[in-house]
């Protein structure tokens, strides 16, 4: 079988290109057609040597045969809204994109989730759809990650941690075993969570403390 045509939604973060190229170096899998982006200023430009073809509406017509990767990660809420929009437009599917050196044996990974180089996914772990795990994230055994979670570089989830939908985990934060992070909450960079994090809050520090309460995210 030949390479599958694929477009990247969001001409913003270049790391997705190096990830896809690493997958193709290991086993030719995807033909990177280019980017779609609703920012009209990007139309006709190139990003990481690939063309910005036009807006996301192309997925309903000219690019409907292509697989789609959601490369939008400004916030978890924005990533979730973009994915909902992309699903409503079309495309041929939303594969999980996992670095070839990352083992997900005895773990489950949802559609449209992106896992970068150096991550460790333990046995029994479950990662939802449309998540983004940046470099060197550790998800230890039997930990559960809901949909649309963003995990920054160096995050550590110890055994049997639960992270609910839309949470944002800052770089290098540590969640101790059996703890939970509530939906749409934010854990600041370098924080250590000794206790459960409620939904819709921002926590920071070692140990982590609530520093801000947030409005519930409208879906």
Average confidence (pLDDT) over 129-153: 98
Structural domains of the chain sorted by starting position, each given as residue range(s) with its CATH number in brackets: 4-89 (3.40.50.20), 98-208 (2.160.10.10)
Distance CA 67, CA 131 (A): 17
pLDDT at 2: 81
pLDDT at 143: 98
Q: Tokens standing for 142?
A: 């039997």
Report the half-sphere exposure of 169 (CA within 13 A, side-chain side).
36
> Which residue is associated with the tokens 């949802």?
110
The yes-or-no verdict on residue 180 having pLDDT over 90 is yes
Q: Which of the four pLDDT bands, split at 50, 70 and 90, describes residue 30?
A: very high
**pTM given for the model:** 0.95
Measured over the CA atoms of residue 132, residue 163, residue 108 and residue 176, the dihedral's sign is: positive
- φ/ψ of 77, rounded to 5, equals -65, -45
The yes-or-no verdict on residue 42 having pLDDT over 80 is yes
SS3 category, 46: strand
Distance CA 146, CA 106 (A): 17
Share of the chain above pLDDT 70, in %: 98
Summarised one tens digit per residue, pLDDT across range 55-112 is 999 999 999 999 999 999 999 999 999 999 999 998 889 999 999 999 999 999 999 9
Pick the catalytic residue from 65, 99, 116, 141: 141
Whether residue 99 lies in the annotated active site:
no
pLDDT at 214: 81
């Amino acid at each position: 079988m030949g390479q599958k045509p694929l477009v990247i939604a969001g001409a913003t973060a270049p790391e997705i290109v190096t990830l896809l190229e690493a997958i193709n170096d290991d086993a030719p899998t995807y033909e990177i057609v280019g980017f779609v982006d609703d920012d009209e200023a990007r139309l006709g430009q190139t990003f990481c040597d690939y063309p910005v073809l036009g807006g996301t509406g192309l997925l309903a017509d000219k690019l409907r045969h292509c697989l789609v990767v959601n490369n939008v990660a400004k916030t978890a809420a924005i990533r979730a809204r973009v994915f909902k929009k992309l699903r409503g437009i079309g495309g041929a599917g939303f594969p999980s994109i996992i670095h070839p050196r990352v083992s997900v044996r005895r773990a489950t990974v949802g559609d449209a989730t992106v896992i970068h180089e150096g991550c460790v996914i333990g046995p029994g772990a479950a990662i939802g759809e449309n998540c983004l795990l940046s470099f060197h994230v550790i998800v230890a055994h039997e930990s559960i990650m809901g949909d649309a979670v963003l995990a920054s570089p160096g995050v550590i989830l110890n055994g049997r941690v639960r992270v609910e939908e839309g949470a944002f985990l800052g770089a290098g934060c540590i969640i101790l075993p059996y703890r939970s992070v509530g939906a749409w909450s934010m854990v600041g960079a370098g924080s250590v969570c000794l206790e459960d994090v409620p939904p819709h809050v921002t926590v920071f520090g070692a140990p982590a403390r609530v520093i801000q309460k947030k409005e519930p995210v409208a879906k």
